[in-house]
Amino acid sequence: MIPPLLAAAADPVGSGIFLGWAPITISIGNFIVIVAMVVLFVAALFVPFLHDRDE
Amino acid sequence: MPDEKVVPEEPERWSTWTGRARGWMLKRLPPDRLLPEDQPSYVASWIYVFGMGAIASLVFVIGSGIVLALNGPAWYHVSALGHFVNSAHLWSVELLFLTMVVHLWGKYWMAAWRGGRALTWMTGAISFFASIGAAFTGYLVQTNFDSQWIAFEAKDALNAVGIGAWFSVTDLGQLLTWHIVLMPLAVGAIVALHVLLVRVHGVVPPIDAAESDAQLGGSAAVTVAEEPPTAPRPVTESAAAAEPALVAHQEVAR
């Protein structure tokens, strides 16, 4: 049996959660970042830009 | 009051290479275009923000990286402050790539290579790939089992293409030099050139901008109007009244 300390050192960030659709597999972290980029891109096109008060 | 605007002299008048270099630079990038106070109205859109977001992230990446480098690659294993700085380094890299990718998507869909901006586009692409290289070398200097695993997987591929003897991913000292010296210098130089080229040619206008738009500065204006390049100027009420296209852009920007 592997000692807990050695097991933690060998897998410092955990195995993570993976999503899968047929041949596609992606970690939940990467999936969140990609979704965030798409949301930001779409929002950047449609959200009104800030303007000065005197404008 | 004397006119303070710098007027570059004719190249023939320079007698030294430093003078010729100064004339060349002043002609292509006069101070008012290098550090402008205004931008065209079409820049008032969130999609134009992400390039500067990427640069701001890069500043944080370099700042946190300097602190990490000064304390050594194993510091963050034994220090709470080191752990924090290491995490700040990681998350600023995440922000750098996030903002850089949205910047890339925005510029791709507005065909930002238009108007003589091909070199600007190419330097942006090269800086993207150089950043990926810098990030990969960062994975290899974590000094943990993760970096060891990545290095021993990568070495076989690098040996297979014959460069393992010169680029040894299992050599921490060599990888640290790549990650904290060579790659930052490469990324910094390419990003600086990219920004200077943006200043030279001006921010790319919307794809449906009229060719007669008075705000089209830089080489695009030269191509269209056969006039000397002028820095993008702010929109005034009178200018907007005289040029309906400006009003259209303002409406789009709002």
Domain boundaries, chain B: 44-204, 208-254
In the prediction, which pLDDT does B227 show? 40
Q: Is the residue at A12 inside a domain?
A: yes
The full 3-state SS of chain A, as one line of letters, equals: CCCHHHHHHHCCCCCCCEEEECCEEEEHHHHHHHHHHHHHHHHHHHCCCCCCCCC
Q: What is the ipTM for the molecules in this complex?
A: 0.73
Give CA separation, B74 vs B64, B86, B140, B154, in Å.
Answer: 15, 10, 13, 22
Cβ-defined contact of B46 to A37 (cutoff 8 Å):
no
Residue of B44, B47, B146 lying closest to A44 (CB–CB): B47
Q: Which residues of B touch A47 (CB under 8 A)?
A: 46
Under a CB-based contact definition with an 8 Å cutoff, are residues A44 and B102 in contact?
yes
Q: A33 to chain B: which residues are within 8 Å by CB?
A: 94, 98
pLDDT of residue B14: 79
In the numeric block, which tokens belong to residue A25?
Answer: 């597999």
Integer Cα distance of B250 and B245 in angstroms = 9
Q: Pick A37 or B231 by higher pLDDT.
A: A37
Q: State how beta strands A18-21 and A24-27 pair.
A: antiparallel
Are B91 and B99 spatial neighbours (Cβ–Cβ below 8 Å)? no
Residue contacts between A and B (CB atoms, under 8 Å): 42
Are residues B102 and A37, on separate chains, in Cβ contact within 8 Å? yes
Domain count, chain A: 1
Is residue A38 one of the residues assigned to a domain?
A: yes
Just give the CATH number of B44-204.
1.20.810.10
Burial class, A51, CB count within 10 angstroms (exposed 0-12 / middle 13-18 / buried 19+): exposed
Say whether B45 and A44 touch across the interface (CB within 8 A). yes
Q: Which amino acid is at B219?
A: S
Judge whether A9 is closer than 8 Å to chain B, CB to CB. Answer: yes
**B113-132 pLDDT, tens per residue?**
999 999 999 999 999 999 99
Chain B contact present for A36, CB below 8 A: yes
Give me the mean pLDDT over the A19-47 stretch. 94
Residue B33 has pLDDT above 50, yes or no: yes
Q: What is the pLDDT of residues B175-222, one digit of tens each?
A: 999 999 999 999 999 999 999 999 999 999 888 876 666 666 544 444
Q: Whole domain around residue A20: which residue ranges?
A: 4-46
What pLDDT was estimated at residue A54?
Answer: 60
Query: Does the CB of A32 have a partner CB in chain B at under 8 Å?
Result: no
Does residue A28 lie in a domain region?
A: yes
**Measuring CA to CA, which residue among B64, B88, B86, B38 is closest to residue B231?**
B38
Mean pLDDT of B50-65: 97
CB B207 within 8 A of CB B252: no
Report yes or no on A18 lying in a domain: yes
Please say if the pLDDT value at position B224 is more than 50.
no
pLDDT at residue A52, rounded to an integer: 67
Domain membership flag for residue A53: no
User: Do the chains contact at B46 and A13, CB–CB below 8 Å?
Assistant: no
Report the candidate in B223, B224, B214 with the shortest Cα–Cα distance to residue B247: B214
